[in-house]
Amino acid sequence: MKIFLLWNSKHSKFNCSYKLEDQRVVMLGSKFEPYTKNLNNARVVFGASVIVGDDNFEKIINSHLTFVDKSMLVKEFIESSDFVSLILRPRRFGKSTNLSMLNHFFKIPNSKEENDISRKLFEKLKISNEKEIIQEHFAQYPVIHITLKELTAHSETWDKMMIRLRVLMAKIYDEHYYLIDNLHPHELMNFQKILNKDPTYSESELVSALQELSIYLRRHYKKECIVLIDEYDSPMKHAYNKGYYEVANGFFKGMFSSLLKSNSENVTKAMLVGVLRIAKSGFLSGLKNIKVYPLYKESLFPLYLDKFGFTSDEVELLLPLCKDLKIDDVREWYDGYIAGGTIHLYNPWSIANLLSDGILDTYWTDTGSTQTLEKCLWRASSSFKESVGKLLKGENITNVKIQDDLRYSHLGQYQDSAIWTLLYYAGYLTMNSEKHLVIPNKEIRSEWHRWVINVPFFTKGQTITSMLDNLLHGNLNLFSKEFENMIVDTLSYYEVGGSQSGTKAEYVYHAFCLGMFANARDRGFIVRSNREDGFGRYDVKIVPKPGVDETAIIIEFKVVRDKKDLHDMAQEGLLQIEEKRYRVGLEENVKRLLEIGIAFEGKKACVLGHLLHRTDEGTWKKDLISD
């Protein structure tokens, strides 16, 4: 039996489809029963489509969506001797989905029907074969499951974060409203105050709200709780960026200490997940019973190495969904993270988007704020600058040691070791087999290009604000002058001349410019790269969202070879845009079009272009030409 579910985006490079030829596939009306495939230790449950952006385990399984089986995380968590496990991985590494899965595995259901529903979630997953674990641990614990990411929205001040915290606590308490019949009078009063987000319930009382909830749950079920905390470090990073780190650190130190330090009669195990390691010097410093699991940790008895992020075998199982994708290309773009010195990992967010779009492109770098990083990069030392130059040339960094603990005070002092540590934990660097720091892959390298052209530290005081303004407003002459000046300054960090003037230089030019033009996304523009339109594949297209602007931009890059003239190559790029009809398919809200050809030779550039407007008949007419 064959079933094809196609992504038919006109921009897609690859034909992404499910080609389901397994006899276990059973049609259910217009749906089919998910089926599994295995490769070594990897298992994928193939469903109706690939989901992007939803981390709710129950919804993924019940909606018959494709799921990479990480259920043996349950076994490792149960069998570990740790009271508190702190898992550190970069953004979008499957942390939230895994905690959602643990929650559904462990929590005690409210009814037999709910128990049966939860059991069915795991029937195709590997943990279902662990009969002893299922018997002794499935649906056997009260669970406190929270995500602290919710505290950062609209929290410009500590008072506003406290408002968000009251909302979060009310939500958690409401999930356990059934406890209300088993409370003492003073406990009932506090419970109601939290439910009502009562501002008279002070910070000093709120700091122990989770501990009190664990007491109520243990008393009700006569069993200790499991605690699952997602994005444990998000409030502290946000507080640091907004200037109220010290007061936030004091509060959360008290909250975590009350819940996890001397509360073993109410809590049996806990797992915290996040990005940054701030255990010893930050708000987890009061915990003596915590074990930290970063990517680089090596051990004779390793835990969790392959449970966050997609392994090579898992990606190999998934790739047939896009039949034209080549594993070598996918490795170059998205591989490179190494856990425990041996296991290669891919970012799940990037792979899911790749399977959805069918395009080798940058996905992960747009998913989170880099405010902390960029603030540090602005004021790093000259030796840091030299090391960045090596990274951009494809070299590794040999003289940097990742700190075992990140101190935000060191970030404030712009200490290089703290910045390197932040870059590593955030996923912008990885550690190779020789323990040297390198940029993981092509996708992440594009973010480094963006930093270099955005940070005055690297551009000799120039910024791209004016240059981007001129580009988006169609001021081609001014854009050309500023662009060519910046190329001379910034490309000193790259090898683009001499023996490097071939394919590698072409990639550097393209990545550098894409990093620059990607800033248009912050102004309401859509930036696309290397996609099919008309009769070919354009380099960059910048299109305004409806109501933002009326000007779109198409850019074609050329690299001078065989002693050709720089001006002639720029003209060739400009003609290619017209001959290949890249302007076909532009949205109706676009009334003006700037077509640009840019030629590069070493650290020199030539920019040519023309401005067109759309006539009432829908055709394009040139306004002027810039030489």
Single out the residue of 68, 17, 15 nearest to residue 346, CA to CA: 68
| Confidence band, pLDDT 50/70/90 cuts, at residue 477 | confident
List 339's β-bridge partners, or say none: 343
Q: What is the pLDDT of residue 379?
A: 66
Domain count across the chain: 4
Q: What is the pLDDT of residue 533?
A: 79
What is the C-alpha to C-alpha distance for residues 559 and 562, in angstroms, rounded to an integer? 10
The SS3 assignment for 447 reads: helix
Is 392:494 a contact under the CB 8 Å cutoff? yes
| Tokens representing residue 329 in the block | 């290309």
pLDDT reading at 8 higher than 50: no
pLDDT reading at 462 higher than 90: no
What is the C-alpha to C-alpha distance for residues 467 and 446, in angstroms, rounded to an integer? 19
Which range (185-194, 197-206, 350-359) has the least confidence? Answer: 350-359
- Provide the 8-state DSSP code for 109: P
Is 195:173 a contact under the CB 8 Å cutoff? yes
Please report, as a single letter, which amino acid is at residue 301: F
Is 304:85 a contact under the CB 8 Å cutoff? yes
* Range 152-170 average pLDDT: 95
pTM of the model: 0.78
608 and 530, same domain (yes or no): yes
78 and 64, same domain (yes or no): no
The SS3 assignment for 516 reads: helix
pLDDT reading at 3 higher than 60: no
100 and 249, same domain (yes or no): yes
* Range 215-235 average pLDDT: 96
Dihedral sign for Cα 134, 118, 266, 302, please. positive
Single out the residue of 312, 305, 368 nearest to residue 92, CA to CA: 368
Structural domain of residue 344, as residue ranges? 27-68+309-361
Helices (H), 440-502: 442-454, 465-472, 476-490
508 and 591, same domain (yes or no): yes
End-to-end, the C-alpha distance of the chain in Å comes to 60
Q: How many CB atoms lie within 10 A of CB 242?
A: 17
What is the C-alpha to C-alpha distance for residues 467 and 21, in angstroms, rounded to an integer? 53
Q: Does residue 459 lie within any of the structural domains? A: no
Helices (H), 224-326: 234-242, 245-260, 312-318
285 and 145, same domain (yes or no): yes
The SS3 assignment for 600 reads: strand
Q: Does residue 15 lie within any of the structural domains? A: no
What is the C-alpha to C-alpha distance for residues 375 and 411, in angstroms, rounded to an integer? 9
Q: Pairing state of beta strands 592-601 and 604-614?
A: antiparallel
DSSP string, 381-404: -HHHHHHHHHHHTT--B-S----S
56 and 104, same domain (yes or no): no
605 and 478, same domain (yes or no): yes
Find how far residue 625's CA is from the centre of its chain: 41
pLDDT reading at 207 higher than 80: yes
Q: Does residue 303 lie within any of the structural domains? A: no
Last residue of a domain, one of 245, 262, 293: 293
Q: What is the pLDDT of residue 604?
A: 85
Q: Does residue 315 lie within any of the structural domains? A: yes
Last residue of a domain, one of 454, 474, 496: 454
496 and 580, same domain (yes or no): yes
576 and 548, same domain (yes or no): yes
Last residue of a domain, one of 398, 425, 454: 454
pLDDT reading at 626 higher than 50: no
Q: Does residue 188 lie within any of the structural domains? A: yes
Is 459:452 a contact under the CB 8 Å cutoff? yes
Considering only residues 204 and 277, tell me which one the structure prediction assigns the higher pLDDT.
Answer: 204
At 349-375, the pLDDT tens digits run: 999 999 988 888 888 865 555 667 766
| Confidence band, pLDDT 50/70/90 cuts, at residue 585 | confident
What is the C-alpha to C-alpha distance for residues 64 and 60, in angstroms, rounded to an integer? 6
Which range (212-216, 242-246, 481-485, 541-545) has the least confidence? Answer: 481-485
Residues with Cβ within 8 Å of 248's Cβ and at least 6 positions away in sequence, in order, are 158, 161, 235, 236, 239, 283
488 and 574, same domain (yes or no): yes
Compute CA distances 192 → 39, 189, 198, 221, 314, whole Å.
Answer: 52, 5, 8, 21, 47
Q: Does residue 298 lie within any of the structural domains? A: no
At 57-106, the pLDDT tens digits run: 999 999 999 999 999 999 999 999 999 999 999 989 999 999 999 999 99
What is the C-alpha to C-alpha distance for residues 41 and 314, in angstroms, rounded to an integer? 9
Helices (H), 519-581: 566-579
Which phi and psi (to 5°) does residue 197 adopt?
A: 55, 40
CATH of the domain at 511: 3.90.1570
CA dihedral 194, 199, 204, 210 (to 10 degrees): 20
CA dihedral 49, 52, 54, 59 (to 10 degrees): 0
pLDDT reading at 413 higher than 50: yes
The SS3 assignment for 43 reads: strand
481 and 617, same domain (yes or no): yes
Q: What is the pLDDT of residue 490?
A: 66
Give the CB-side neighbour count of residue 86, counting CA atoms within 13 A.
Answer: 21
Q: Does residue 16 lie within any of the structural domains? A: no
What is the C-alpha to C-alpha distance for residues 100 and 55, in angstroms, rounded to an integer? 7
At 321-343, the pLDDT tens digits run: 888 888 999 999 999 999 988 89
CA angle 160, 165, 167 (to 5 degrees): 100
Q: Does residue 571 lie within any of the structural domains? A: yes
Is 544:550 a contact under the CB 8 Å cutoff? yes
532 and 413, same domain (yes or no): no
Q: What is the pLDDT of residue 515?
A: 72
pLDDT reading at 129 higher than 90: yes
List 88's β-bridge partners, or say none: 274
Residues with Cβ within 8 Å of 30's Cβ and at least 6 positions away in sequence, in order, are none
CATH of the domain at 278: 3.40.50
